[in-house]
Structure 1
Amino acid sequence: MRAREYFQLLYPLITEKRVKRALVLMGPRRVGKTVILYHTIEKLIEDGIPPDNICYFSIETPLYNGIFLEELVKLYLQLQSKKSTENCYIIFDEIQYLKDWEIHLKSLVDSYHYIKFIVSGSAAAALKLKSQESGAGRFTEFILPPLTFHEFLSLTNSENIIKVTSKTVENENGVFNKAFYSTYNISKLNEHFLNYINFGGYPELSLSKVIQSDPGRYIRNDIIDKVLMRDLPSLYGISDIQELNSLFTYIAYNSGNEMSLDEISQNSGVAKNTIKKYLTYLEAAFLIKIIHRIDQTGKKFKRANFFKIYLTNPSLRSALFSPINATDDFIGNMVETAIFSQWQHCQNSQLYYARWQSGEVDFVSLNEKQKPA
């Protein structure tokens, strides 16, 4: 499989050793975290790092159950006859299977100054919470989101449909060249975009026709069910999993619609105070994203009675219900969800929406002066 385009952003953080920090790679399930680690190992060797200076552990392997991280590090150093002062790279994949991993990792960073530690995990909500609680000044977080449309085209060898031209533009910052994108075949591009909406969020799903024939089994079992039934309950002590599942199903079906707590409560049967907590959990697990409403002048409302909820990737809805076609009544919402998901890859991705009696703007970004852009 080709390396994801995010690899170009991740690799400099892995090779950065002037700052003594571990790298915590997190994100939703099945977005290619393990594969990107394999590409990292390949690139390190290409760049001259001796293979025996790189060690990879998959913590979910039963053999490692109950073994502390430092014990694994010492075993590696002993077996390879390495000194703790040698420049090495140690990778712990699926770190969430180790209890109190963040405490042990912080201790390793403080003790082994010449070793770069990289960890990854799929229980994104748990990783983020524990990383921020215990890893301040010791961990660098890197979130790997679902595929962008551009990455989807690249992985499926379809990027040749895109035409790129460069034009000279001028603004208050000066004169510079800017890339503009068009297509050689708009019908084919629309076909690819519809496939992205239905199957494009996850690399394996994008490339496998077998999995695409039954996306519900693949995504629901491997992504949605494991998050709703295992990750979130274990982290936040959720007891009513059926209630959480009911809420998420309602949100997924209505992705991109304006909602209110009263409306969600009425339609899902979940109490409003419980809904607030569940929304926080689902957002921490990178399944949904909430955006709030602003008025025509760009000001936020004091009481956020209405808001929009988007799935982080439209293929989640296709898995829960069924793939949609270009004439489906809900295609507009899914196109909007797909476009919104691209914005989540931006550093400054704080978006809002505006709605008034005579019109609506789906996405609004505020600049440094808090003016609509």
Structure 2
Amino acid sequence: MHLEDYNPHWRKGYFYGHEKKREIYGELWKSAEKRRITVITGTRRVGKTTIMKQIINDLIKNEVARYNILYFSFDESQPSIRDVIKEYEEKLGKDVSLSGEKYYVFFDEVQKLDNWHEQIKYFYDFYENIKFFVSGSASLFIKKGVRESLAGRVKEFYMGGLSFREYLIFTDKEYMLEKPEMFEDTLKSEFSRYLKRQYIEIVSEDEEEIRDYVRSIVEKVIYIDIPYIFSVKNPHLLMKIAGIVASSPGMLVDYTSISRAIGGGESISRVRVSNYIHYLEEAYLLKLGYNYSRSEMVSERKLKKAYLSNP
């Protein structure tokens, strides 16, 4: 398992990089002293891992012992939570639950772990001196676990793409917000750039690099993440749906029309199309816009508009 590889902050003087923080950071930091499990959701590359490591930095700066902070990612391997905690205790040379000390445990990409919610529930209930942070890239998978086993035990935070204010901060142009009337034309130009640069890693990249970057994220979510969680046998159909929405943002979601468009002669049921769109929405790739109505039932019956969540 090599826990030391995941925890370079155990070394004296070590701090993670990434000094600039997202707007959500303040609320996440406040949650560090709350008993409930802090759950961070959002798509790939949105900054969940970075923000966890920023919290680790600040815990150390606030005199939490380095060895009392554990980070582990389930992205590449999926040992049980019990095995991770057991190895951690072996390295510490003590039983965490009996130590009388406070510990902070960060589990990244927890949706990759089967029955993560059942596993973490045991440690939440019996290791009261551990504060858990977990991250995940699939809303439904996280919500299902919360409903089934962790009701009342979690506080969920969603991380989306950068806001325009955050974009200006990460491009060192936040000074424009102090006197926006002085930079009206420049802000308009920056906003046009921002619309295609809502991930931290591409705020300064050119159009070709942006296309490659976003395509790689979409492909990993569609061909790896969604099939793993929802047992989708034909992920290429998910890609076709995403492509249709990308070419017609704001399109009305007509399941019959979409079924014909992606079928290529194959009969694709409306229910299947509906499920696939739901999976894309839960994976934060699509957003559905609902027509306003005083009646929720009427609003649900009307055709919805579909957009990509990030350009």
| TM-score after normalising by structure 2 | 0.83
Structure 2 runs not aligned, ≥5 long: 1-17
Write out per-residue CA displacement over residues 6-37 of structure 1, whole angstroms, 9 at most, x where no aligned residue: 111111112213xxx22221111110011001
| TM-score after normalising by structure 1 | 0.70
Please list, as runs of the form range in 1=range in 2, the aligned pairs for 1:84-99 lying within 5 A after superposition.
Answer: 84=97, 85-99=100-114
1:135 aligns with 2:150: yes
* Greater displacement, 185-194 / 76-85: 76-85
2:32 maps to 14
* Percent identity for Structure 1 against Structure 2: 31
Structure showing the higher strand proportion among its residues:
1
| Paired letter, 1:215 | I
1:309 maps to 306
1:77 maps to 89
* Greater displacement, 155-164 / 142-151: 155-164
* Greater displacement, 265-274 / 304-313: 265-274
**How far did 1:196 drift?**
1.0
1:28 aligns with 2:43: yes
Contact 1:261 1:305 (C-alpha < 8 Å) held by counterparts:
no
Contact 1:26 1:120 (C-alpha < 8 Å) held by counterparts:
yes
Contact 1:14 1:116 (C-alpha < 8 Å) held by counterparts:
yes
Three-state SS of the structure 1 residue aligned to 2:104 is: strand
Give me the whole-angstrom Cα distance separating, in 1, the residues matched to 2:161 and 2:208.
Answer: 20
| Paired letter, 1:77 | E
1:277 maps to 275
2:240 maps to 246
Structure showing the higher helix proportion among its residues:
2
| Paired letter, 1:193 | F
1:224 maps to 218
Three-state SS of the structure 1 residue aligned to 2:304 is: strand
| TM-align CA RMSD | 2.3
Distance 1:299 1:71, change over 3 A: closer
Give me the whole-angstrom Cα distance separating, in 2, the residues matched to 1:249 and 1:61.
Answer: 28
Please list, as runs of the form range in 1=range in 2, the aligned pairs for 1:221-370 lying within 5 A after superposition.
Answer: 221=216, 223-269=217-263, 270-294=268-292, 301=298, 304-313=301-310, 315=311
Give me the whole-angstrom Cα distance separating, in 2, the residues matched to 1:141 and 1:206.
Answer: 27
Please list, as runs of the form range in 1=range in 2, the aligned pairs for 1:124-203 lying within 5 A after superposition.
Answer: 124-163=139-178, 182-199=180-197, 201-203=198-200
Structure 1 runs not aligned, ≥5 long: 165-181, 316-373
Give me the whole-angstrom Cα distance separating, in 1, the residues matched to 2:70 and 2:292.
Answer: 50
Number of aligned residue pairs: 285
Distance 1:61 1:230, change over 3 A: closer
